[in-house]
Amino acid sequence: MSVLEYVKNSVIKGDDEQVVKDVNMAIDMKEDPISIINNGLIAGMNVVGSRFKAEEMFVPEVLMSAQAMAAGVEVVQPLIKEGDITNKGTIVLGTVKGDLHDIGKKLVAIMFDSNGYNVVDIGFDVPAEKFVEAVKEHNAQIVGLSALLTTTMPEMKTVIDTLKGAGLRDKVKVIIGGAPVTEEFSEEIGADGYSPDAGSATQLADRLLA
C-alpha cells in the first residue's frame, strides 16, 4: 500500500492522530503536498461521501473524518505557501446561508492564500448581506461562494442579486463552486465563473482579473 493510501484510509477511519502521522510520513517520503491533499485527504473524503450516501456511514463518523482531514490539511498547508508572492487581490470567501459544509471552501482558501491572494474567509452559513458587507469592508475584487447542497445553491443567486442591489456587482467578480454546482448553473445565475476544484479556482481568478 502506498503512503497516500495510508493517509486516505486514516481519513476514512476518522483517526486524526493517525492522519497527522501518515501525512508527516508522506512529507518525509517527498510526496508532493498538493498530491497529498488530492490523492490522500480528498480521496479519503470522497470514499466517506459515497459511504454516507449509501447510508453505510452516518453524520458523527463523517464529522470525525472531516476533522481528520482538516488535521491533515493543517500539516500540509505551510508547505504549499510559496513565500512572499505579490498580492494579486482580495477574495472574500464563504459558504452560503443554510449550508454548513466548509471543508472544500477551506481548501479553496488555502490555494488562494498560497497563490498570492489576500483571503478573507467569512465562514459558513453566511447570509447574502454579510458577503456584501465584507466586499465593502475589504474592498475585494473577487467573491467566492461555496454550496454543497442542492437546496442552498439558489442562495448563490441571492448573493449576486444582493450585490447588484448594493451597486457592487460591476466591481467584483463572482466565482462559485461546490460538488453540486455546474458551469451551466453558473451561467444561469450570472456568476463570472465556476471551478470544479480548489487548484483550478485560482487560475480562474487570475484569468478574470487579467
Spatial separation of the C-alpha atoms in residues 144 and 122, rounded to whole Å: 10
Spatial separation of the C-alpha atoms in residues 150 and 178, rounded to whole Å: 10
Contact predicate 161/143, CB 8 Å: no
Instruction: State in angstroms the smallest separation of the CB of 84 from ligand B12.
Output: 24
| Residue 202 contacts ligand B12 per CB under 6 A | no
Q: Using the rule CB under 6 A, give the single segment among 10-18, 21-29, 140-148, 154-162 that binds ligand B12.
A: 140-148
Tell which one of 79, 85, 100, 209 touches ligand B12 (CB under 6 A).
100
Long-range contacts of 109-112 (CB under 8 A, 24+ apart): 110/73, 110/77, 110/80, 110/198, 111/80, 111/198, 111/199, 111/201, 111/202, 112/144, 112/201, 112/202, 112/205
Question: Per-residue x/- mask for ligand B12, residues 23 to 42, rule CB under 6 A?
Answer: -------------------x
Q: Using the rule CB under 6 A, give the single segment among 24-32, 80-88, 127-135, 170-178 that binds ligand B12.
A: 170-178
| Residue 157 contacts ligand B12 per CB under 6 A | no
Tell which one of 20, 34, 47, 62 touches ligand B12 (CB under 6 A).
62
Contact predicate 51/13, CB 8 Å: no
Category of 91 on φ-ψ map: left (φ > 0), alpha (ψ -120 to 50) or beta: beta
- Cβ-based nearer residue to ligand B12, 9 or 84: 9
Run of H or E residues at 47: helix 43-53
φ and ψ at 207, to 5 degrees? Answer: -65, -45
Contact predicate 74/67, CB 8 Å: no
Tell which one of 15, 102, 155, 192 touches ligand B12 (CB under 6 A).
102
Instruction: State in angstroms the smallest separation of the CB of 175 from ligand B12.
Output: 5
| Residue 49 contacts ligand B12 per CB under 6 A | yes
Q: Using the rule CB under 6 A, give the single segment among 22-30, 61-69, 80-88, 133-141 that binds ligand B12.
A: 61-69
| Residue 52 contacts ligand B12 per CB under 6 A | yes
Using CB under 6 A as the criterion, which residues of the chain lie in contact with ligand B12 when the complex forms? 42, 45, 48-49, 52-53, 59, 62-63, 66, 98-105, 107-108, 144-146, 148-151, 175-180, 195, 197-198, 201
